[in-house]
Structure 1
């Protein structure tokens, strides 16, 4: 399992992450920024989550596709 965090304040809502990996990322309906889908959130925080091994690769691909590099995978 990998930890993922999103610097939502710097998100530009380009959609790359939720297009590439909709299993983990989604667009927030209120502010349009990226967030972690509910089932993978850490402590209910929309900006932090834990990705299971089965989707780690696509989560990393989505993070790498972010033009402003605000998604951090550790």
Structure 2
């Protein structure tokens, strides 16, 4: 399972790293990014929660 953040859509609200720090962090541009190639099994639920919580739907977890 992979997580991707659309950099053009992301508004840098910081919600996803607060929900799932194992997968997401803020980059130097103030946007969120996925920091793992594959979502760890123990973080799937929180990664999906971050996807559903994103106010601009910039995250895809599949």
Moved over 4 A (4+): none
- In the alignment, structure 1 residue 61 sits paired with structure 2 residue 59: no
Normalised by the length of structure 2, the TM-score is 0.90
CA deviation digits over 1:34-73, x for unaligned, max 9? Answer: 0122xx1xxxxxxxx3202111000000111100001001
| Distance across 2 between alignment mates of 1:27 and 1:19 | 10
| Distance across 2 between alignment mates of 1:16 and 1:8 | 15
Query: Match of 1:50?
Result: 38
CA RMSD of aligned residues (A): 1.0
| Greater strand fraction, Structure 1 or Structure 2 | 1
Normalised by the length of structure 1, the TM-score is 0.77
Query: Match of 2:10?
Result: 11
Gaps of 5+ in 1: 41-48
